[in-house]
């Protein structure tokens, strides 16, 4: 066990400089999750969308997302990011088999693909994840808004999402028969 203040040599994290260098050289792997509430028959009744402020202070809507660390399973990465963004009492119900509904490829230049991230080339595995507990957004999330599937698929919500995530949200709803 390492002492306080001593970095873990196998942490899986990169320093800010190492991350910036990696982002310039190769695609990074991410997971994204669309938190949902389901009824007793498994039908999606509500969709959770995060409200965030970016580094420039702009407010936008987004999904639960984050990098997969070296040596981390997809299941563990999903759980970590769901807990980080929604709080420890969200109680996400991860699928027995972590097969994404979509693979989204983000490019650093607009127009190269459907999804855009000015920082990097990233590949994201996207999941629809039911949550059964109380969600209390943490980290840089300002709030979690629960919407009907129809509201979440609206042009207005899509326009508030960065990088094409409105299209990804619609694809998530289509994958569960709610679009």
* Residues listed for the chain: 179
Q: Degrees (nearest 5) of the Cα angle 35, 119, 115?
A: 55
Confidence of residue 12 (pLDDT cuts 50, 70, 90): low
pLDDT digits (tens, 9 = 90+) for 88-131: 999 999 999 889 999 999 999 888 889 999 989 999 999 999 99
Neighbours of 115 (CB within 10 A): 18
What are the structure tokens assigned to 81, written together? Answer: 């990011």
End-to-end CA distance of the chain: 49
- Write the CATH number of the domain with boundaries 19-175: 3.90.79.10
Where exactly are the structural domains of the chain?
Answer: 19-175
Q: Degrees (nearest 5) of the Cα angle 164, 38, 153?
A: 25
Q: Give the contacts of 67 (CB within 8 A, at least 6 positions apart).
A: 28, 29, 30, 77
pLDDT digits (tens, 9 = 90+) for 49-82: 999 987 778 899 999 999 999 999 999 999 999 9
Per-residue pLDDT at 31: 98
């Amino acid at each position: 066990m390492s002492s306080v203040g001593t970095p873990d040599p196998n942490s899986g994290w990169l320093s800010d400089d190492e991350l910036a260098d990696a982002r310039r050289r190769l695609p990074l792997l991410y997971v994204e999750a669309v938190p949902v509430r389901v009824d007793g028959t498994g039908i999606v009744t509500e969709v959770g969308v995060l409200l965030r402020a970016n580094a420039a202070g702009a407010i936008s809507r987004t999904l639960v997302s984050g990098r997969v660390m070296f040596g981390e399973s997809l299941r563990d990465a999903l759980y970590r990011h769901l807990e980080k963004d929604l709080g420890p009492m969200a109680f996400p119900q991860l699928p027995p088999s972590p097969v994404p509904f979509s693979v989204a490829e983000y490019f650093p230049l607009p127009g190269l693909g459907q999804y855009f991230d000015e920082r990097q080339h990233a590949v994201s595995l996207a999941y629809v994840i039911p949550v059964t507990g109380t969600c209390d957004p943490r980290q840089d999330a300002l709030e979690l808004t629960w919407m009907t599937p129809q509201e979440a698929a609206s042009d207005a919500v899509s326009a508030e999402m960065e990088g094409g995530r409105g299209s990804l949200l619609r694809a998530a709803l289509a994958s569960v028969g709610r679009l």
